Structure 1
Amino acid sequence: MALADEYGEFQEVKERNLRILEALLFASAEPLSVAQMTGFLGEGADAAALLTELAERYASRGVNLVSRGDKWAFRTAEDLGFLLRREEEDNRPLSRAALETLAIIAYHQPATRAEIEEVRGVATGKGTIDLLMEAGWVRMRGRRRTPGRPVTYGTTDAFLDHFGLEALSDLPGLEELKGAGLLSSRLPSSMQIPLPLDGPLREDEDPLDPDDTDGSDIDDDEAR
């Protein structure tokens, strides 16, 4: 009987923690990390395991619990997305240059502006990268340990969330990328797809300086 009571108490605590996670995720406008939610749970709770179980419970519902990088969020089930899609006017649609730049950063990160230009074959205006950063899809990672110490760029969790990707490994393959009309004839033969890195800084990257706010290279001429 004592064992049954102990099991019942365990289930009660687990269900309470699941409800807490559910409430936190529904109330949040942005995806949440495990660390952000752990503090709201009981002592010793395994937040990662609880999130996995909660995701399974919602797998067949109208909304699904999905992971976006290292964060979690509720999103409309893919097969029902058309029901809730609203007609929205985009006042600043992405240009082809911005789309190409985003694709290069996504597949070849960490990438410098000079490396982006090498793949595209044309100069990339700073405003193009600024636009992607304002959208929250691109971030400055660090500085490359090469002459001029150019800034390296990578994608964000918001990029994964917007395009419905759990991780960068879910990016479309080379043939799909060509089918979309991006980088059709500009990929160097040595470039592998996908070849992204969104983790810690590489050995050839230094942390950003405290005064790095605009992503300017220390010496653009040398960086190129």
Structure 2
Amino acid sequence: MDDSEIPSESLFDAPPMAEQERMVEAVLFASAEPVSVRDLETRMPHGCDAAEAVVRLRKRYEGRGVQIVRVGDAWAIRTAPDLGFLMQKETVETRKLSRAAIETLAIIAYHQPVTRAEIEEIRGVSVSRGTVDQLLEMEWIRFGRRKMTPGRPVTFVVTSEFLDHFGLESARDLPGLKELRAAGLLENRPPPGAMPAGEPDEDGETDAGQPELFED
């Protein structure tokens, strides 16, 4: 049978699943950022099932030193959590967040999408521009859709970088204060009454004498 007799469909057959797994593995290994299934499909040959390849590859990596983890709607190769201590010499000290920044971040994470006015209502104090700018610069929050309310205020939501930093699949798996302190992102707050109500904190925000926003 000559080339003219070969069914045209064979030219578009997807590679074997084992080869698709190798492709996904190569892309995730080379990417500094998590990669979505849609992005994987655009890189892989026509007919490939990137979603299935990811599932199979994830199972293949179970119990290994690195794992295939989900970050929001994307996937990445990350060190197994129980081996994180081996990387301590390689880690860079993360800039610690102020009380105002951590409370603002927590409110955004737990209530997203949320407006500045709603953040201020929950905290009981005004939110300085510097606090929001810091979180935006760290790429832990971003602007969301505008609310369909008078004035069309902009909203804030957490980013995939925030989820990736804490090893979360989604905002439903948010850490509590203990995890944040363990990560060195939250300074110990002064005991109740140490800072008189009405005195500005380190971000220039005025504390209205509110109690702790979150409990351990």
Give the alignment's TM-score, normalised by structure 1.
0.70
Q: CA deviation at 1:166?
A: 0.6
CA distance in 2, matches of 1:76, 1:163: 13
1:68 is the counterpart of 2:66? no
* Map of 1:220 onto structure 2: none
The two structures, once aligned, show a CA RMSD in angstroms of: 2.7
* Map of 1:169 onto structure 2: 172
Which one of the candidate residues 54, 57, 63 is aligned to 2:57?
Answer: 54
* DSSP-derived class of the 1:42 partner: coil
* Map of 1:88 onto structure 2: 92
Equivalences for residues 129-208 of structure 1 within 5 A = 129-172=132-175, 185-186=212-213
Q: CA deviation at 1:159?
A: 1.0
* Map of 1:201 onto structure 2: none
* DSSP-derived class of the 2:146 partner: strand
Q: Deviations over 1:48-96 (max 9, x none)?
A: 1110110111111000000101100000000001101235344x42111
* Map of 2:24 onto structure 1: 21
The alpha-carbon distance between structure 1 residues 75 and 13, as it changes in their structure 2 partners (threshold 3 A), is: same
Q: CA deviation at 1:176?
A: 8.4
Q: CA deviation at 1:175?
A: 10
Q: CA deviation at 1:186?
A: 3.7
Equivalent residue pairs, number? 175
* Map of 1:123 onto structure 2: 126
Which one of the candidate residues 43, 46, 51 is aligned to 2:46?
Answer: 43
Equivalent AA in structure 1 for residue 75 of structure 2:
W
Larger gyration radius, structure 1 or structure 2: 2
* DSSP-derived class of the 1:39 partner: helix
* DSSP-derived class of the 2:43 partner: coil
Does the 8 Å CA contact 1:68/1:167 hold for their aligned counterparts? Answer: yes
Which one of the candidate residues 100, 111, 116 is aligned to 1:108?
Answer: 111
Specify every segment of 5 or more residues in structure 2 that has no aligned partner in the other structure, as ranges.
Answer: 1-12, 181-185, 190-209
CA distance in 1, matches of 2:55, 2:172: 20
Does the 8 Å CA contact 2:100/2:131 hold for their aligned counterparts? Answer: yes
Equivalent AA in structure 2 for residue 120 of structure 1:
R
CA distance in 2, matches of 1:176, 1:71: 23
Equivalent AA in structure 2 for residue 67 of structure 1:
R
CA distance in 1, matches of 2:131, 2:54: 37
* Map of 2:203 onto structure 1: none
Does the 8 Å CA contact 1:121/1:186 hold for their aligned counterparts? Answer: no
Q: CA deviation at 1:185?
A: 3.8
Q: Deviations over 1:108-151 (max 9, x none)?
A: 01111111111111111112111111111101112222233221
The alpha-carbon distance between structure 1 residues 42 and 99, as it changes in their structure 2 partners (threshold 3 A), is: same
CA distance in 1, matches of 2:152, 2:41: 38
Give the alignment's TM-score, normalised by structure 2.
0.73
Does the 8 Å CA contact 1:110/1:141 hold for their aligned counterparts? Answer: yes
Does the 8 Å CA contact 1:137/1:159 hold for their aligned counterparts? Answer: yes
1:33 is the counterpart of 2:24? no
